[in-house]
Structure 1
Amino acid sequence: MIATDWPATATRFLALRLPPGADLRGAIESAFAAEPEAAGFLAAAVGSLELARLRPAGRDDAIEVAGPLEIVALSGTVSADGPHLHLAVSDSAGTMTGGHLLTGARIRTTAELVLALAAGQRFHRPHDPATGYNELAFD
C-alpha cells in the first residue's frame, strides 16, 4: 500500500453547476486546471446526462449509453496528468451501467459537482509496470 495524508484544513472545495450540453469530463478537467492546487478528488456529484461515454472494466474500447440518464455515482481523482474518474448511471428503467468516464458525456439538465482541492499535495500518474497503466502517485 502507498499512502499520503494532509490536514483537513488544507482541503478547499469548489462547487460547480454544469449546464445542458456541457461535457462532464471536460468540465472537471477545465475547472481543476484553472485552480492552483495539484491534487483533487470528487467529493459529490449529482445530475443527469443525455449521453454517457464509458470504458467498462477489462475493455479498451468505449461504449455509449443513450439517455436520459441519472448520475448515480461519480468518483475519482484529478491531477495535472489527467483525471481517473468512474461513473455509474441509470436509465429510465433503473438499469445501471458504469465504467471509466470518457470525454463526450453530455449534461442533460444539470450536473452539480463538488471538487475537493488539496493544498500542499501533488497527484501525478507515472506508468506502473506491474499494472501496465498510469497509476496514482503522490508528492
Structure 2
Amino acid sequence: MHRYLIVLMLLLIAGPAQGLPSCPEVFSLAYDECEGSYQYDNGDRYHGEWKKGKKHGFGTYVWTNGHRYKGQWTAGKKSGTGQYTWSNGDKYVGEFHEGDYHGEGTLTYISGKTVTGEWRKGIPWNATSYSTSGKAAYAYTDGNALCLTQ
C-alpha cells in the first residue's frame, strides 16, 4: 500500500508525460487533444489537457471556494489517480471514478486523522480509520463502520 501511494505522489508531482500542443486562445470544442487553461463564469479555473471540449488527461481544477483537484480526468470527470484538497487542508489522495473517490485511497484530515483503504462511490468501503496517535479507530467493511475503540 505504501509503495502504491509513493508511486501515486510521484506521478502527481511529475504531471503529464506528453507535451500536447497549446489550445486555441478562444475556448470551444476546438479544445481537442491540446493543453490549455479556462476560467469559468463562476470563477473556477482549470489548466490541463482537453479532448473534444472536455477535461481529459492530466489537469488541475481550482474552485472559487479554495478546493483543488490535481490529477487525471476522463470525459470531463475526475477519473484515475489524483489528489483532492479542501480549502481547510483536508486531503484525499488515491483513485477516482466518474468523479467519486473509488478504489484505493487515503483521506487525511488536517487534525491528523486518516481513513485509508478501498473506497466505493465516495464511501469508505473496506478501509480503516486511524486516530491522530495512529491507533485504528474504525474499520469499514462493505461501507459499514465498526468502532474499534471504547
Q: Would you call these one fold, judging by a TM-score over 0.5?
A: no
TM-score computed with the length of structure 1 as normaliser? 0.28
Greater length-normalized contact order (CA 8 Å, ≥ 6 residues apart): 1
- Structure number with larger C-alpha Rg: 2
Give the structure-2-normalised TM-score: 0.27
